[in-house]
A = this chain, B = another copy of it.
């Protein structure tokens, strides 16, 4: 590990923005846009970044591209904020290698989603136990609980047990839907049994962020193309102004809801980031969603409306 490398931990909070992976119009990795996107996110005030997540089109990168992208993000960030790297894989070997490579390049920790054929609590617990043991105590882990994409359901019990048994489990990306009660249960059971309190950052595009902050979330880990709003909402909550936070949130809600659409949401986000100057091309690798003229007009209308509200 590097000196002064920021590390993800139980106190991590605020917005860990899920970074898109920028491509050129012909589908090559666009390194310069990685730089500009990084600066864009940092200017908006994010407290962390997550690269190579599902939204980062990680499964569509070759191994060398994976390294290239990770390296470039980490180099550009250069320790200014912690960077979490998505390392989910069908292969434990690859997961382990990628995690160690990430840490050696300056990552703050890794995010792991369960493989898709786990059906029972003990299978989910067993999977993460294996992963945690493979990675060791020095690599901080964020559990990704996203059943809509993985098909795997993580119970509060399993999350608690993993928290108890592995000090390197420091964060939960909470993305079950509906999942608000689960969030409350984790916080309540944790307090009741003097369990270590881990960081919980919410996903689902932030669709329920104000409600989730009140239930004990520490922030959001999501790729909404206006991360400055998420940042301000978190700041306002920290400042004890939940009402103002929700007022602000609701102004962006129409667009945020629009991006919430699975699949096409990725294309909408990349297009928005392109329009905002953060990346040069909105290209999504194939197979993947492609926006048509109607989609683009619809997005324009929603953005204009937001601009008008903010003006």
**A residues neighboring B (CB under 8 Å):** 27, 59-63, 90-94, 115, 117, 119-122, 127, 130, 147, 153, 155-157, 177-178, 180-181, 184, 207-208, 211, 214-215, 246, 250, 253-254, 257-258, 261-265, 285-287, 292, 294-295, 298, 305
Taking a contact as CB atoms closer than 8 A, the residue among B178, B208, B215, B305 that contacts A246 in the complex is B305
Q: Is A261's CB under 8 angstroms from B59's CB? A: no
Query: Are B287's CB and A92's CB within 8 A?
Result: yes
Contacts of A157 in B (CB 8 A): 121-122
Q: What does DSSP make chain A's interface, helix, strand, loop or mixed?
A: helix
Q: A115-B287, A177-B261, A257-B257 given as contacts; is B120 within 8 A of A90 (CB)? A: no
In the bound complex, CA of A147 to CA of B262 (Å): 14
Contact of A285 among B63, B91, B258, B295 (CB under 8 A): B91
A155 and B122 contact, CB distance less than 8 A: yes
* Cross-chain contact A295 with B181 (CB below 8 angstroms): yes
Docked Cα-Cα span, A197 to B92, in Å, equals: 38
Query: Does B119 lie within 8 Å of A147, measured CB to CB?
Result: yes
Q: List chain B residues, Cβ under 8 A from A59.
A: 90-91
Interface pair B262/A257, CB less than 8 Å apart: no
Residues of B within 8 A of A298 (CB): 180, 211, 214
Complex: A32 Cα to B83 Cα, angstroms:
42
